[in-house]
Chain A
Amino acid sequence: MKKLSYREAIREAMMEEMARDEQVVVIGEDVGRYGGCFKVTPGLIERFGDRQVVETPVSEEGLVGVAVGAAMLGMRPIVEIMYGDFSTLASDPLINHAAKMHFMTGGQVSVPMVYRTPMGSGTGAAAQHTQSLETLFTNIPGLKVVFPATPADAKGLLKSAVRDPDPVVFLEHKLYGTEGLIPDGEYTIPLGKADIKRQGTDVTIITYGKTLFTALDAAAILEDDEVSVEVVDLRSLRPLDTETIFASVCKTGRVVVMHEAPGFGGFAGEIVAQIVGDSATFNALKAPIARVCGKEMPTPFNKNLELQLPPSPHAVVAAALKLFPSAV
């Protein structure tokens, strides 16, 4: 085992895959000598040259379209879009093209592309650089969507995403310096598998991405109140590992679903629908399901205000405690 930061783990996954297969090409803005907006790509162009690192103009729609076309002829592009918010610009090649190419050609064309982009607040970058737009992608059949939280998961999932024959939206949080232990040697983590990050018996917190850390903090606080919390880290939003969700909910009977994106129309609603749609899991519920999500507003610039946007550990604790009959 070795310790790597989130960004180093992502970089290591890319380097290993680029060395394994010269068709793996990183495409994006400022991904060359500058090393990418969040410094995920330093060292790639020096090692792999411009055959495997393609720096593009500021042309999000065009560059993702280019990646789709190249992928149709055998490239395995890893696109980096510097802020998830700019997915609005790249949505046509991703949603109208990459996601549908295999289907509407009757299976003749595949688009093995990874679309990497970071989501979320905490950087003081205001409303156009901090959104959590995962639901832009989760309602699109043909796209796979992953959102790893830890360095080890990021590395293993990215390697699987690169090898997947279809487009994978690989969402990153911006705690790029977060360190974690990485298994030695070659490994991958399958898409569509959740991970229990903490075992517990009284409440299940279901989340993904950065708010995994919020969930773990909340679980530690609840432990002091003698509430045993199980934390399910989805890692993949689509395909969704309902098996792991149902098993945990059946065990605890109480659920808090959380994410940084606003709750209204958010992915938490899908998780809730899955839980209540499964009769055994529904019958195991001992309380209504709580959602703890980001505030229903664009991200404010002011630091104190921005910090109040995502769910806090204390909000999660309060929501969890309300699920018990003794709660007032």
Chain B
Amino acid sequence: MAIVFDREQGLSLLALMIRSRVFEEKIEALFSSHEMHGTTHLAIGQEAVHAGVSPALDSEDWILTTHRCHGHTLAKGASIEGMLAEFFGLSQGVAKGLGGSMHLIDLEHHNAGSSAVVGSGVAIATGMALQLKRKESSNLVVAFFGDGASNRGVIHESMNMAAIWDLPVLFLCEHNVYGMSSCADEMVSVNSIADRGSAYGIESSSVDGNDIEVVFEAVQDAARYIREDKKPFLLEVRTYRFSGHSKNDKRVYRTREEEERWSLRDPLRIFSERLIERGHLTHEEFEEMQRSERESINRIAEKLLEERNELTIEEAQSYVFTDGGVE
């Protein structure tokens, strides 16, 4: 392990990981109590990826995420209030309540939103990179996808195009072991998806996705390579989805023993223990950070539930076309 965060950076990224965890737990509770409708895809256990990717990039680099987008959206800078409001379907939401949990967006922080068609966002991100290259921008686009999506044909097409055109794309494979219920061991032809990079002439690496310092450094290295060598890069981060696929998943496709084993590799636990060991944090401070984050999210949720604003169907229709025309 090479990178060692200083105290300030370590605590700030720990806070981000806590925020992501607590946010997801709040969402889970709100769905369970039927205060939110629809569906949601949690990424509890993947916080080292959330906090290890966007914070390692330039603020003007773009990301394009997936249906499992909450943590990435938070880490890129979106407000909890705008996100929670979107989950409630409110007009104060980041997409005015028209997108919901799978379609968070935050252009101000260069988050182009997400595609909830597994894998399709990778082509969109590749197109954004084509336009960045035409504009002679020094920025790159992160195309998030998972191990399940890695089998989509469009990812093959996108990687090939990014390679032949030397596009500034960071293909970021968030390998969390499961695509819905199916285990990567049975669905992916290679042990490491990073191995597929060589088929396209794309440099790649695979790292521990539960160690934020490892993820952060790998993303920085990849970004430097993309900017300096002007080529795409494929980075696989190996993590584990503690949550089920979506809200009603009883996780019948895996054992509790397997989950137990992975819980020892909980990214929050690994990183907080490391910071305590370094003397940058005490157990009490860690508890306090989690408690105050929970309180703050609860306050925001309560406030939103009191001030519900929703679009009318006519207002919603006015967003079908850019000029507001309804036909």
Q: Report which A residues bind B (CB closer than 8 A).
A: 25, 51, 54, 56-57, 59, 61-75, 92-93, 96-97, 101-110, 112, 141-142, 144, 165-166, 238-240
Contacts and interface: CB of A to CB of B under 8 A. Distances in A.
A19 B84 CA distance: 45
B322 to A, nearest CB: 4
Contact of A66 (B94, B130, B321): B130
Interface string B139-164: 00000000000000110011011001
Nearest to B322: A165
**Which 3 pairs of residues, A with B, have the shortest CB-CB distance?**
A65-B123, A69-B127, A62-B157
Given A105-B95, A105-B103, A109-B107, A65 B322 contact: no
Given A70-B134, A73-B131, 15 more contacts: A25-B134, A51-B134, A62-B161, A65-B120, A65-B154, A69-B130, A72-B112, A72-B124, A93-B124, A96-B115, A97-B120, A104-B98, A107-B319, A108-B107, A239-B325
Nearest to A89: B153
A57 B319 contact: no
Interface residues of B, number: 44
B157 A105 contact: no
B105 A102 contact: no
Contact of A109 (B113, B126, B160): B113
Contacts, number: 142
A316 B117 CA distance: 44
B153 A61 contact: yes
Contact of B113 (A63, A75, A105): A105
A248 B323 CA distance: 29
Contact of A62 (B113, B134, B158, B316): B158
Contacts of B158: 62, 65-66
Contact of B161 (A66, A141, A165): A66
A106 B82 CA distance: 13
B275 to A, nearest CB: 37
Nearest to A142: B320
A239 B115 CA distance: 27
Contacts of B122: 65
Given A62-B161, A108-B107, A109-B107, A92 B320 contact: no
A65 B124 contact: yes
Given A65-B126, A74-B131, A106 B96 contact: yes
Contacts of B157: 57, 59, 61-63
